[in-house]
A = this chain, B = another copy of it.
């Protein structure tokens, strides 16, 4: 709960206990920030092997002054909800223990996003707990809100997949796309996607100021998009000079003519009632289309579009914070729904303006 918040305001019945596994990583830190400001969660445990006994603020300077200390990930307390923010492959090994510790497990890795063992064999290195795959629900509430209440295992979507799915969703919902069209997605991402570990390519002198093709083809998030829409997608990812943010530009070529009005209808239909989706598509001023700066640090997803009649093309722009809507924010949003809390609880804040490379 946040600094200065009157505890008495919160109905005791609404306070749930939470654990964050992998709390010293980037998305783990983001979960700690969100839960710290959430009216209904109390952080019971944040685990980190490397930083055991250090305060969470010693690693995450935004949380300087908080007294919670990292604990050993081997010793899990029983809590209401467990968020796992570990590297790919860890959760599938520890999922039994996680499920024992909490009725609701929200996993932020790729371990439970795909539906079948075959997909994990194609895109990853197989799966050691395939029996959980059919139980897990892909978190993204804008696609799966109705499946979330009461679910025991939630898989937060991949950041680049989330940006793309949010951009393309309304075109499929409205049947402006049917699945046979050519879809090219050109994504630009920040350095936090590489995680806290780093390496030569992530060092500041090498990573600053870049426009670097880091996944020319074959990025694993492609699998999530194809699973969602049943299409094949030409997917390329560039690293650019920001820390947070995933910006997906989708170039799609519908079979027949499409009007601007149809596009507006499609996006409004899908997103008008969504608390975290906003449409930015032209107009005046500096910020006419989605861009990561405008939503950095928040759970918002901004989408927009343009028509290119000369090329029979629709261009769709989508921007999220990869660590928020693309990970920890999506996780908390889904947990709120799964647990029957106010959907926007702990996520109802705005980003910054102006702000730099967020």
List chain A positions with a Cβ less than 8 A from chain B: 2-6, 9, 26, 29-30, 33, 36-37, 54, 58-65, 182, 184, 186, 188, 190-192, 194, 196, 198-213, 216-218, 232-234, 236, 238, 240-245, 247, 249, 251, 253, 275, 278, 280, 283-298, 300, 302, 304, 306-308, 310-311, 313, 315, 317, 319, 342-345, 347-358
Contacts and interface: CB of A to CB of B under 8 A. Distances in A.
B238 A241 contact: no
A143 to B, nearest CB: 20
| Most central of A199, A210, A238, A313 by chain B CB within 10 Å | A210
A234 B65 contact: no
B4 A344 contact: yes
B285 A33 contact: no
A217 B186 contact: no
B211 A247 contact: yes
A354 to B, nearest CB: 4
A105 to B, nearest CB: 24
B319 A61 contact: no
Contacts of A54: 285
Question: DSSP class of A's interface residues: helix, strand, loop or mixed?
Answer: loop
B350 A36 contact: yes
Contacts of A240: 188, 211, 240-241
A304 B4 CA distance: 24
Contacts of A63: 350, 353
Contacts of A342: 4, 6
Nearest to A324: B352
Nearest to A60: B353
A343 B305 CA distance: 43
A4 B247 contact: no
A278 B352 CA distance: 22
B356 A209 contact: yes
Given A201-B286, A204-B202, A205-B196, A211 B356 contact: no
Contacts of A302: 64
Given A204-B202, A251-B236, A315-B236, A62 B286 contact: no
Which 4 pairs between the two chains have the least Cβ-Cβ distance? A209-B357, A4-B344, A356-B357, A198-B203
